[in-house]
């Protein structure tokens, strides 16, 4: 069988596409590398944010997560969620005084420190907001949409926290004193 011009062009264009993707730096997302092996979770693991953050930390497979306060001094680092605030702010009102648009806000303050008190990440505030149109006739569906938007904002904030935790340099994390 003699190669045709069409098969040659198909193979060469596929090769160019593969080389182009490799040359642009495209890479699949990988698990984060952390400068610490053990982390004490000084946040509520029962809150929706705490549940998702715990799942992401354990899902990395690279961190031993501690939740018992007696183990805090044995951890390499302590993650403090200082505050988590969810707000609904009316931003649009009709002529009759009925709310037409809401702004959903989620604020999370956190820090990362060693058991000795050295701050690896100073207190940081992460903020997300989404706009939500509102009608009384579709109140139930808007409540469901509001839950979805809060979950989306929460996922984004957890991913930002994970990226910041992985950005901590290994030389700045002293090993915890082992008894």
| pLDDT for residue 179 | 47
Class of domain 29-169: alpha beta
| pLDDT for residue 8 | 61
Three-state DSSP state, 6: helix
Question: Is residue 169 predicted with pLDDT exceeding 50?
Answer: yes
Q: 90, 121 in Cβ contact below 8 A? A: no
Continuous segment of H or E residues that includes residue 139: helix 139-166
> What would the pLDDT profile of 116-152 be if each residue is shown by its tens digit?
989 999 999 999 999 988 877 787 888 899 999 999 9
> What would the pLDDT profile of 55-65 be if each residue is shown by its tens digit?
999 988 888 99
| pLDDT for residue 97 | 77
Look up the pTM and report it: 0.75
> What would the pLDDT profile of 67-117 be if each residue is shown by its tens digit?
899 989 999 999 999 999 999 998 888 788 777 899 999 999 999 999 998
Question: Is residue 176 predicted with pLDDT exceeding 60?
Answer: no
Q: 98, 134 in Cβ contact below 8 A? A: no
> What would the pLDDT profile of 10-52 be if each residue is shown by its tens digit?
666 666 666 665 667 666 555 677 889 999 998 888 889 999 9
Q: Could you give the dihedral angle defined by the CA atoms of residues 53, 54, 60 and 62, in that order, rounded to the nearest 10 degrees? A: 130
Question: Is residue 175 predicted with pLDDT exceeding 60?
Answer: no
Question: Is residue 1 predicted with pLDDT exceeding 60?
Answer: no
Question: Which residues does residue 19 pair with via DSSP β-bridges, in sequence order?
Answer: none
Q: Write the DSSP string, 60-113.
A: TSS-EEE--GGGGGGSSEEEEEEEEEEEEEEEEE-TTS-EEEEEEEEEEEEEEE
Domain-by-domain residue ranges, the chain?
29-169
| pLDDT for residue 99 | 78
The mean pLDDT value for 150-165 works out to 95
């Amino acid at each position: 069988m003699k190669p045709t011009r069409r098969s040659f062009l198909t193979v060469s264009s596929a090769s160019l596409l593969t080389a182009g993707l490799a040359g642009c730096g495209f890479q699949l997302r990988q698990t984060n590398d952390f400068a610490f092996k053990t982390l004490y979770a000084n946040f509520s693991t029962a809150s929706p944010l705490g549940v998702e953050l715990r799942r992401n930390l354990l899902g990395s497979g690279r961190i031993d997560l501690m939740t018992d306060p007696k183990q805090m001094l044995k951890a390499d680092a302590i993650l403090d969620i200082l505050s988590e605030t969810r707000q609904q702010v009316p931003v649009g009102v009709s002529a009759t005084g009925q709310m037409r648009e809401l702004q959903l806000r989620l604020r999370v303050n956190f820090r990362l420190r060693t058991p000795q008190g050295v701050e690896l990440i100073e207190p940081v505030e992460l903020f997300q907001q989404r706009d939500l149109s509102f009608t009384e006739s579709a109140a139930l569906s808007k409540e469901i949409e509001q839950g979805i938007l809060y979950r989306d904002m929460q996922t984004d904030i957890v991913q930002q926290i994970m990226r910041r935790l992985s950005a901590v340099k290994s030389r700045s994390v002293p090993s915890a004193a082992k008894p």
